Amino acid sequence: MDVYPMSLMWSVKIVGLGVVALSLSLELLGWVFGRCRRRRTLNKVLFFPSKVACVEHLLSQNSACSCFCPLPHGVETSFSCLLRHILSASSSLDLCVFSFSNMDLSRAVLLLHSKGVTVRVLSDKHYSAITGSQIGALRKAGVCVRCDAGSVHMHHKFAVVDGRQLITGSLNWTLTAVQSNMENIIITEEAELVQPFIKEFNQIWALNDPARFYKS
């Protein structure tokens, strides 16, 4: 007669063990899938020419200020998306761009600089001197600027935001590129893509350190 209660006791133990094993498995699965989900990093593509719309609300220090310009308001465009990503910088912006004459992009860089974001700008030595280039204005405002003197053209057009977000493509930072050309921009946080660009930036930055030229 003792056998049945003992067997019943064991059955209860097995069911209990099963429940514990199931809950542990679910926990483990949740952890593994969580890791997989965390690996889904930002990957975005923007195409240009961009629709034209007012971006004053993004660039104005006073966000409550209304703009009465005749451009469409409250419209999300490729350009406003690009601006948002640049303006999302909270600690650093490393910018490496062949041609930089776009006033709105220049205002975005100056705004970040005024907020205390560490901004470094690399540009092409020839294109930084052409009419309309914003490189002089940035330098005058105290932004750290270096111009590459070691290649025929420093033809990159990329930015690294906060050392983790890469913005790169065919688009020079000019009004024609934004409003009239067919262009592309990739915005990514894939470390395999971002890290080589950070290394490249630091190499070109070091290569064009004015101190090197004074020494030699």
Determine whether 113 is an active site residue.
no
- Please tell me whether residue 169 binds a second copy under the rule CB under 8 A: yes
Instruction: Name which position in 17, 52, 144, 206 contacts a second copy (CB under 8 A).
Output: 17
Going by C-alpha positions, the residue among 80, 87, 93 that lies closest to residue 163 is 93
- Please tell me whether residue 173 binds a second copy under the rule CB under 8 A: no
Secondary structure of 71-85 as H, E, C letters: CCCCCCCHHHHHHHH
- Please tell me whether residue 140 binds a second copy under the rule CB under 8 A: no
Amino acid at 9: M
- Listed in sequence order, the residues at least 6 apart from 111 whose beta carbon sits closer than 8 Å to its beta carbon are 59, 61, 87
- Please tell me whether residue 98 binds a second copy under the rule CB under 8 A: yes
Query: How far apart, in whole angstroms, are the C-alpha atoms of residue 129 and residue 65?
Result: 34
Neighbours of 155 (CB within 10 A): 14
**Nearer to a second copy (CB atom), residue 49 or residue 163:** 49
Residues that bind a second copy (CB under 8 A): 2-3, 6-7, 10, 13-14, 17, 21, 25, 28-29, 32-33, 35-36, 39, 43-45, 47, 49, 98, 148, 151-158, 168-171, 176-177, 180-184, 186, 188, 190, 192-193, 196-197, 200, 204
